[in-house]
Amino acid sequence: MGEAQPVANEELEKLKLEIKKLKRELKHKSKDNEILRMANEQAVHAQEFIQRENARQVFYTRQLLKTSPYLLILTDEKLFTVMTSDIYYQFGSCNRARIQAGVHLKEALDGIFPDEELEDFLEKCEKTLAGEFIESYLIQGDFFGQRQDLQVNVKSMKQDGVVIGLNIMFVDMTQVVDAKERAEAADIAKGNFLANMSHEIRTPMNAISGMAEFILRDSDDEAAKRHAAMIKSASRTLISIINDILDFSRIESGKMEIVEDDYKLSSLINDVAAMTRIRLQETQTELVLDIAPSLPENLTGDEVRVKQVLINILGNAVKFTKEGSITLRLRQEKLDEEHCRLIFSVKDTGIGIREEDQAKLFSSFSQVDTRRNRAIEGSGLGLAISRSLVEMMGGKIRVFSVYGEGTKFTFDIISRVKNWEGIGEIRKKAAPGAVKAFQASFRAPEAGILVVDDNEMNLDVAAGLLHPYSDNVTCVMSGAEAMVCFAGHDYDVIFIDHMMPVMDGVETMEKLRKMPGGKETVMIALTANALNGAKAEYTAAGFDDFLAKPVSPRILEEMLRKYLPSGKIIENGKENGEASKDAAGEKSAAGGVSGKQSEKEQETEGENEAVLSALRNIPELNVEKGLSYCLNDSAFYISTISKFVKRAKDHILDDQLKEEDWDNYLVTVHAVKGNLLTIGAEEVSREARELEFALREEKKDYVSEHHETFIKRYRALLKACRAALQP
């Protein structure tokens, strides 16, 4: 027994240890249990959170679909619907259950979408599924029972890079499109209004300035004359502002065109320089020309618009420079065999422009530094117009200025070059009035030239212009006479006036063309209404070319050189003194004033000078301009003026108005307009032009109303010319 006792104890100890171990394990287990329980709890919380979040997302998505004003459609990759915005159910043919179960787009959209658009739309959907990007686009039609402009957006939905369906949205743009159309219509109306108003204002303004001129000339009252001078200057400013507004509205409405034609660079520079010098008279500022002699002389481009930009910039320089100088610099950069970039710069020593103002300069209607420049007129449109014109001609305009020191404007344009003959040395400082007589560069004594014009004065001028070239010039006054002449003679060139009574220029040309030799003879239209695209119009009608009236001697010479047979041309040789003298002598004869002996010649010259200076005192007459149409030959010009006086048409116009003979009134006033322009009476001519154009538009009331004003001006001019011609 004594042995059994230790064994039992040992067992007991073992068991105790076992129990302890079990207890420890139990403790561990219950700890793990706790962790598990807690983890479980967390999982439950997380799940509840996710469910709540999901429910929230579903709720918001539902809200989005329920309240969206747009029709949204989600489809699967086979174009079967997945869901749509609720707006669908107001107009669509399928109910919610069907849409959610999936119907093909074609069926889902039945009745909502116009049939003619549906095919194209489904095609775009297929393309989008295939991975193509389709831009949103606008369609028009009766959607949802009313006329709408709808923007269609089709985008693909991707999951893990794979296209799983489409997201389609239709947005109602009706109001936006409406607003845009209204704004565009308003813009056009504004442009038309500006153009019409400008035109309407210009007519009475011309009358105001004309009347002021009468006072200036006829009145002995010094105060009245001073006031009239102010009226004239103010109305001139107003007219130039109106012209700016007209140009600006043309640019805004996209109607401004760049019209290309051949021109001489030297004549452009001389013109703007002469104008600037006139404006600089009686100031302390001088004009300096820095023109590279290698610049190409013969260019093709829009001379009028280049001049407009230059005149505006030079005009500003004159306005804002009290003393010092204005430098016009011109350089070129050859671009290729046919093009160059002309780089102009105008630098002045004037008041300068503040840096913060420089950016505003080129925007419309803005004049800068208005406090200081209050007294200086302008519309603030000049530079905005210049910028547009320069950009239309492929260049840029820039300004560099130091306030208080001066300003430099530069601009460049791309120009076509006819040939690379250089411009040569441009006179740096031309004395006003020292314009040299035009010298014909060749003669063609054998060339047969026929001129057809119903207006005697025009015929005289044409004969005078052609005389230095040919001894064989015939002038006739109607299409019928032209046909008689043509039947008996060969002519190399026939110039035909467009607007003639009975048989007009086009009809005359057509008849002549049908006669033997008619097809081969060069026929050139003469027109006083040369508008944009005139050349194309006349060549389409069957003429070889056209010549604008008043005829520029330079252009006439170019045309003769181009169209006369080269075998008949004999060069005068510019450096040959004899030939030049001959040519000048011819021109004197052309003017009808003979000058054989030198004493007699001197006497005549003295008389001519006296007449010219009397003519220069007539404010309506731009003598230099008139001279330029008469080869800068004073005798020729004076003889033209005397023909203008002798062939006055004031009484004829009066009679035609009285008898309401509108057709003939139109022909007469058109001719008078041309004659006035030829002698340099530009403003009076413009008034005749207003009458002519009013009549063309059947505005007879306008003619009745304005006839008297015009006739008064015309008669006053005739009277002044008559007086100037008296020895």
- Closest to ligand ADP by CB, 149 vs 244, is 244
> Does residue 114 have a cis bond before it (omega within 30 degrees)?
no
Segments in 281-422 forming alpha helices (H)? 303-319, 355-358, 382-392
CB 167 within 8 A of CB 71: no
Residues within window 17-56 making contact with ligand ADP, judged by CB under 6 A: none
Least CB distance from residue 412 to ligand ADP, whole Å?
18
- The binding track of 176-205 with respect to ligand ADP, each residue x by CB under 6 A or -, is ------------------------------
368 forms part of the interface with ligand ADP (CB under 6 A): yes
Least CB distance from residue 213 to ligand ADP, whole Å?
25
* HEC readout, 427-458: CCCCCCCCCCCCCCCEECCCCCEEEECCCHHH
Distances (CA, A) of 52 to 40, 48, 63, 237, 376: 18, 6, 16, 78, 75
Least CB distance from residue 246 to ligand ADP, whole Å?
14
Stretch that binds ligand ADP, among 246-254, 343-351, 473-481, 622-630 (CB under 6 A): 343-351
Residues within window 268-327 making contact with ligand ADP, judged by CB under 6 A: 312, 316-317, 320
- Closest to ligand ADP by CB, 316 vs 628, is 316
Stretch that binds ligand ADP, among 362-370, 535-543, 657-665, 682-690 (CB under 6 A): 362-370
Among the listed residues 194, 351, 397, 641, the single contact to ligand ADP using CB under 6 A: 351
Least CB distance from residue 376 to ligand ADP, whole Å?
7
C-alpha 676/C-alpha 682 separation (Å) is: 7
Using CB atoms, what's the residue nearest to ligand ADP?
A: 378
Least CB distance from residue 384 to ligand ADP, whole Å?
6
Residues within window 406-425 making contact with ligand ADP, judged by CB under 6 A: 407
Among the listed residues 168, 269, 314, 361, the single contact to ligand ADP using CB under 6 A: 361
Question: What's the sign of the alpha-carbon dihedral 622, 496, 436, 585?
Answer: negative
- Closest to ligand ADP by CB, 253 vs 373, is 373
Q: 554, exposed or middle or buried, with CB in 10 Å at 0-12, 13-18, 19+?
A: middle
Residues with Cβ within 8 Å of 102's Cβ and at least 6 positions away in sequence, in order, are 76, 80, 81, 82
Residues with Cβ within 8 Å of 529's Cβ and at least 6 positions away in sequence, in order, are 498, 499
CB 148 within 8 A of CB 174: yes
Closest listed residue to residue 357, CA positions, set 376, 323, 380: 380
Stretch that binds ligand ADP, among 381-389, 428-436, 443-451, 653-661 (CB under 6 A): 381-389
- Closest to ligand ADP by CB, 324 vs 380, is 380
Least CB distance from residue 195 to ligand ADP, whole Å?
19
- The binding track of 516-555 with respect to ligand ADP, each residue x by CB under 6 A or -, is ----------------------------------------
Residues with Cβ within 8 Å of 312's Cβ and at least 6 positions away in sequence, in order, are 382, 383, 385, 386
Least CB distance from residue 121 to ligand ADP, whole Å?
51
* Residue 525 DSSP SS3: strand
Residue 474, amino acid: T
Stretch that binds ligand ADP, among 28-36, 291-299, 349-357, 668-676 (CB under 6 A): 349-357
383 forms part of the interface with ligand ADP (CB under 6 A): yes
Can you read off the two tokens belonging to residue 410?
A: 């530069």
C-alpha 508/C-alpha 393 separation (Å) is: 38
State the CB neighbour count (10 A cutoff) for residue 237: 13
* β-pair partners for 401: 407
Stretch that binds ligand ADP, among 130-138, 372-380, 515-523, 585-593 (CB under 6 A): 372-380
DSSP3 helix / strand / coil % (the chain, rounded to 5): 55, 20, 25
Least CB distance from residue 411 to ligand ADP, whole Å?
13
Which residues lie near ligand ADP (CB under 6 A)?
312, 316-317, 320, 348, 350-351, 353, 361, 367-369, 373, 378-384, 407
